[in-house]
Structure 1
């Protein structure tokens, strides 16, 4: 299978980490939807990465769907619980972490708009989403080694990816100061080989 991904996409990084953790073989096809020669719209009508293309040609997008598909391959470690309600709870935390990333991406794109078109109000609105999301994620992480259960889950991977993206794009937020539990979680996740192998380029 092939994973179409931009090197700096936090969503693509999340899937690359899942693939690494499960030791699933795949071909990485670096492709940014922002480039004129991109092939992404040909395989994902929404023009976004990541996109997973199976050997038989079936296509999966976006990152929560791809992560769900990879879980059906029964490769260890299992990153979603078998219990239905526990599974929903993990996916809820994944959605929270992804939402923090969504807000960060939106704020970044807005900050790169030309003078006169950029909205400081919109950037502030997205920053507020990030701060609220971090506060909730902090409460979920407090007093726990893992966000759910007694081992690594998709929630931890999504949270670690979101926090690393904030470090990459918004270091001025200094999110660690008010979130000691997340600081510990991020340090644990960033030390994993899957995170080390997928560190995005600066730029």
Structure 2
């Protein structure tokens, strides 16, 4: 398998962590989806990463589709329950974590995208996205509480997705002091940060 990704994409990081947790081999192909001619465009019409290329040339996207497929490739450490309420719960928390990322990425692009002049930047829209981050963090923290993991007694995709969202806030929004306000999430992130899969996929600092 070949994974087209960016080292700074939190969605791609989620896929890379799942691949590492499942102990599956793949070739990482780096691409910049914001360039004029991203390589991923040849495989994903949306021009977004991550994109997983399978033998035979078939392509899978987006991250939620990829991680669901990858989780079926090995019985080792299933990250998504096979059926029922537990499965829906894990996928719901993944959806909320991805939604937080959508808001964070959207707000950041509104603030820094070079093609938009400063006078055209919309602060109320940015504030609306930042508000989504705040309420999402509160919902995550309230659900986690004193539990060791988001769903069940073991690591699941819900924890990985939330960890990637929190990691992105650390990376792009260091002024958001979520640890002070949500100690339950801080405990979870401390635990996730000790896993090799999270350590090996940290975004570059420069």
CA offsets, 1:57-88, max 9 Å, x none? 11100000001111221341100112322101
Alignment RMSD, CA only? 1.0
Cα pair distance change 1:43/1:107, threshold 3 Å: same
* Map 1:117-196 → 2, pairs under 5 A: 117-196=120-199
| Distance (whole Å) between structure 1 residues aligned to residue 166 and residue 64 of structure 2 | 17
Contact 1:33–1:40 under 8 Å retained in 2: yes
Q: Displacement of 1:38 after TM fit?
A: 1.7
Q: Displacement of 1:196 after TM fit?
A: 0.4
Instruction: Name the structure 2 match of 1:102.
Output: 102
Unmatched tracts of structure 1, length 5 or more: none
* Map 1:45-124 → 2, pairs under 5 A: 45-113=45-113, 114-124=117-127
CA offsets, 1:26-63, max 9 Å, x none? 00000111123421111000110000000121110000
Query: Structure 1-normalised TM-score?
Result: 0.97
| Distance (whole Å) between structure 2 residues aligned to residue 192 and residue 107 of structure 1 | 29
CA offsets, 1:151-186, max 9 Å, x none? 010000000000000001011111111101001011
| Distance (whole Å) between structure 1 residues aligned to residue 171 and residue 179 of structure 2 | 14
Contact 1:100–1:162 under 8 Å retained in 2: yes
Moved more, 19-28 or 114-123: 114-123
Query: Structure 2-normalised TM-score?
Result: 0.96
Aligned residues, how many?
Answer: 203
Q: Any idea what SS the aligned residue of 1:165 has?
A: helix
